[in-house]
Chain A
Amino acid sequence: MLRLIGMDLRGHLDLLLLATLRDGGPAHGYAIIASLRERSLGAFDLPEGTVYPALHRLEREGLVGSEWDASAARRRRVYRLTPAGASVLAAKRRDWRDFARGMRAVLGPGLAEEFG
């Protein structure tokens, strides 16, 4: 089960992966996961192996591209954001912003101060 501090992470994983690739540039799976963990301050508790099927699916949908990097001691697959992936990321960010605004409006104006 993918969990984010008691919340279900499924459905948001695509957004997180696309955002990580946009901000960090092309990277292999291990680096993507490490970056996710670091940037979330350890909030994400997900079996790391399940990120690879998600990356494969995003690649099949044309949102990320990948190629083998043979320059390392071991062969590894490097993923990059495609223009289509960047467009989808922008749309998902808008959706997330609208969702967060709605949640904040319902849960109370003090929420922002509580979480800084």
Chain B
Amino acid sequence: MSEIEWYLDEFFDQLVGTGVAGRRALIEAEYHLRAAAADAMARGLPEDTAEHEAVSRFGPPALVARKLRSAQGAGLLNRAVSMAWLLAGLAGCGLGVAYLVAAWWHTWQTTDCYLALAPGCYTSGMLVTRITTATTFAVAGAALLLGRWLAVRYAALTSSRRGLALRSRR
């Protein structure tokens, strides 16, 4: 087995679980290694030495696979955190609205609630508690959504897309 074949087998083993990105990296690695070996042979190196040089310059399979996982994982983690943040904000706002609707229903929509205290009606204390809770949830949810919006905006300004964002603001 040639050294390039051996390398590709090792690389393939290291890429387990990387899906489409791994398959693409494997195709790119094969093209790269064969092109590098062909160039080395064109310089006069024998085939086995040329393959050895190509493989050595490419880097250990575990290192390249780790870099690929890292590049892939960072994106997945960012998306997961962003989605969880969005859902938490929406949930907070939703709970706040639900509490307010419940308070409105049990205070003004239930029969005789504003004439006399009937079963199912809120007392003044309960009403204050429910509205306070609703407001707390709604404010927390809104704060989360605002924070996420600011984080996305700030990240766009400070990440590698900074140039684009700055240019659009000028």
Contact = CB atoms under 8 A, between A and B. Distances in A.
Interface residues of B, number: 33
A53 B24 CA distance: 11
The residue in B63, B164, B166 that gathers the most chain A C-beta atoms within 10 A of its C-beta is B164
Contact of B164 (A50, A75, A76, A84): A84
Contacts of A39: none
Contacts of B68: 52-53, 56
Interface in B32-77: 32, 34-36, 57-60, 63-64, 67-68, 70-72, 74-75
Contact of B28 (A29, A50, A88, A94): A29
Contacts of B60: 47
Interface residues of A, number: 31
A77 B32 contact: no
Contact of B161 (A28, A48, A84): A84
A57 B59 contact: no
A56 B21 contact: yes
Contacts of A33: 32
Contact of A74 (B31, B70, B71): B31
7 contacts: A14-B160, A48-B59, A56-B68, A63-B160, A87-B167, A88-B163, A91-B167
Interface of A: 14, 28-30, 33, 47-50, 52-54, 56-58, 60-63, 74-77, 84, 87-92, 94
Interface of B: 21, 24-25, 27-32, 34-36, 57-60, 63-64, 67-68, 70-72, 74-75, 159-164, 166-167
